[in-house]
């Protein structure tokens, strides 16, 4: 894993910038993505037979900062297992999950839509991103589901596709971008039918 860490650090990723390129392990063309989230570097190769996926710490970690403050150098163990520092776990985006954490999760813009979705279909969970963006730190909310539906407002079609791709790459879950005629909270019949077909 030290090699992948060196490779990731050589990319010199800036916050929120997503790298896309050839996989350093399987050499898959353009199948490798990496992103920085604070001091964490998350990486993933979505070629089916390649298991390259994980998180490494880089830059100033909580421990490094502490070490600096204490003013002495502590030898860094080479195969340190990475645990999320507290400040990375704290969601930068506030989300609200309505429903049970199993089955299918639908990512929507607001809480009313999340509630409507959860009420319409038992087994469907609504996850409201509350007008902000769905970043890597939100991926953990998707852990207990087997399928993800991204159904944002009709005017956010580009964002919907972008999230679908990102979620698929990071979680490996089946992810569907659902194009709505109107926000799900208005319960447009055609939208409900579309959802029924997916579920």
Nearer to Zn ion, 31 or 61 (CB): 31
Min separation Cβ 26 and Zn ion, Å: 3
- Nearest Cα to Cα of residue 148 among 194, 84, 198: 198
Nearer to Zn ion, 46 or 134 (CB): 46
Rg (CA), the chain: 19
Mapping DSSP onto H, E and C, the string for 41-108 reads EEEEECCCCCCCEEEEECCCCHHHHHHHHHCCCCCCCCCCCCCCCHHHHCCCCCCEEECCCCCEEEEE
Instruction: Please give the residue ranges that form the binding site for Zn ion (CB under 5 A).
Output: 23, 25-26, 28, 45, 47, 50, 52
Min separation Cβ 37 and Zn ion, Å: 21
- Strands across the sheet with 174-177, in order? 96-98, 124-128, 104-108, 147-150, 174-177
Nearer to Zn ion, 52 or 95 (CB): 52
Nearer to Zn ion, 52 or 135 (CB): 52
* DSSP conformational letter for 10: H
Min separation Cβ 2 and Zn ion, Å: 17
Nearer to Zn ion, 29 or 68 (CB): 29
Min separation Cβ 33 and Zn ion, Å: 10
Min separation Cβ 49 and Zn ion, Å: 8
């Amino acid at each position: 894993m030290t090699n992948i860490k060196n490779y990731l650090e050589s990319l010199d990723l800036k916050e929120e910038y997503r790298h896309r390129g050839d996989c350093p392990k399987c050499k898959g063309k353009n199948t490798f993505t990496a992103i920085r989230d604070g001091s964490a570097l998350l990486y993933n190769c979505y070629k089916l037979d390649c298991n390259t996926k994980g998180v490494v710490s880089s830059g100033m970690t909580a421990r490094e900062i502490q070490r600096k403050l204490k003013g002495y150098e502590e030898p860094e163990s080479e195969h340190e297992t990475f645990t999320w520092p507290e400040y990375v776990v704290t969601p930068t985006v506030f989300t609200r999950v309505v429903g049970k954490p199993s089955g299918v999760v639908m990512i929507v813009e607001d809480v009313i839509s999340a509630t409507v979705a959860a009420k319409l279909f038992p087994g469907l969970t609504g996850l409201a991103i509350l007008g902000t963006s769905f970043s890597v730190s939100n991926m953990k909310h998707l852990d207990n589901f087997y399928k993800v539906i991204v159904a944002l407002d009709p005017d956010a079609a580009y964002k919907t596709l972008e999230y679908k791709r990102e979620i698929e790459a990071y979680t490996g879950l089946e992810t569907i971008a659902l194009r709505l005629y109107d926000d799900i909270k208005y319960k447009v019949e055609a939208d409900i039918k579309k959802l029924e077909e997916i579920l």
